[in-house]
Structure 1
Amino acid sequence: MGHQIEPTEVVRKQLEAYNAKDIDAFMSHWAEDAQFLAFPSELLAQGADQIRERHVARFKEPNLFGQLISRMNVGNLVINREVVTRTFPEGPGRVDVIGIYEVEGGKIRKAWFKTGTPVLDRAS
C-alpha cells in the first residue's frame, strides 16, 4: 500500500483542475459513487456520471474561476472558503462558497456546498 494522499491535497488538486476546466483531471479526484449536495442535505448529483455532467456544463462558462480564500481540515474533512467567478443567467459576477469535502481513499466521497447570494459585476 503506497503513501495515502492527504485529504487537503486531494481537494487542492480538484480545485486546480476546476480552474483549468480539465474535466478528466477534475473527475479523477471524485469517487465513483460520490455525492454532491447543497448544504445541508439537498442532493444535486449522485455518482461520477452526474457530477461530470454538471461540471461539463459549468466549465463552458468563459470566466469560471474558484479563488481559494482559506482552507482547513480535521481528519478527512476539508473545508474551503472560495469566491467563485461565474456567468449567471443574469450576467457575470461572483459568489461566496463554502465547500465541505469528505475524502476517503484519496477521493472525494461526499461534498456539500453552501452558496451565498451572487453579486453581479457592474456594467461598465
Structure 2
Amino acid sequence: MPSWSSPEVVVQRQLDAYNAKDLDAWLATYAPDAKQYEHPGKLLASGRAEIRARTAPRFTEPNLHAKLIKRAVMGSVVIDHEDVTRTFPEGPGNIELVCIYLVEQGLIRSASFVFGPAVVQGALA
C-alpha cells in the first residue's frame, strides 16, 4: 500500500502552507517537475525553481489569504474554488480562482488556474 497522502490531503496541505506564507512547505507539495498553467493550456511555470520564482513575491504580501469556497475530488484530481485576498499593484483586493490539481504519488504534478477578475478595494466599478 502506498505511503503517500491522498490527493485531497496534499491539496489541503498546500492551501494551509499558502495561508501560512510558508513558501518551502508550500513548494514541497509540488513534484520537482510540476507545471502550473493558466487554464486551459498556457504554461506559467515548469519545475519547482520556476514555480518558486513566480510565487515568492506573493508570499511577502501582508494580506495574502486563500479562502476555500468549495472543493471537489475525483480520483487524483482536486478542484478548489477559492476567494484569494491579495495586494495588487493598484492596492488590496480579491480574486476568485478555480484551481485544478492533478496529484500523483503524494505530490501535485500540475495545477491549472482559472482566474476571475481582480477586484481592488475602493476601486470604482
Give the C-alpha shift of residue 82 in structure 1. 0.2
SS in 2 for 1:52: helix
Q: Distance in 2 between matches of 1:3 and 1:110?
A: 20
Give the C-alpha shift of residue 2 in structure 1. 4.5
Q: Distance in 2 between matches of 1:122 and 1:91?
A: 9
Map of 2:32 onto structure 1 = 32
Give the C-alpha shift of residue 4 in structure 1. 3.3
Paired letter, 1:106: G
Map of 2:17 onto structure 1 = 17
Map of 1:78 onto structure 2 = 78
Map of 1:56 onto structure 2 = 56
Q: Which runs of 5+ in 2 are unaligned?
A: none
Normalising by structure 1, we get a TM-score of 0.95
Map of 1:90 onto structure 2 = 90
Give the C-alpha shift of residue 10 in structure 1. 0.2
Map of 2:41 onto structure 1 = 41
Q: Which runs of 5+ in 1 are unaligned?
A: none
Q: Distance in 1 between matches of 2:92 and 2:4?
A: 39
Q: Deviations over 1:90-116 (max 9, x none)?
A: 111001000000000000000000010
Paired letter, 2:59: F
Give the C-alpha shift of residue 121 in structure 1. 1.0
**Would you say how many aligned residue pairs link Structure 1 and Structure 2?**
123
Stretches (4+) displaced over 4 A = none
Q: Distance in 2 between matches of 1:53 and 1:83?
A: 23
Q: Deviations over 1:34-75 (max 9, x none)?
A: 000001000000001111111211101111100000101110
Q: Distance in 2 between matches of 1:29 and 1:121?
A: 31
Paired letter, 1:104: E
Identity %: 49
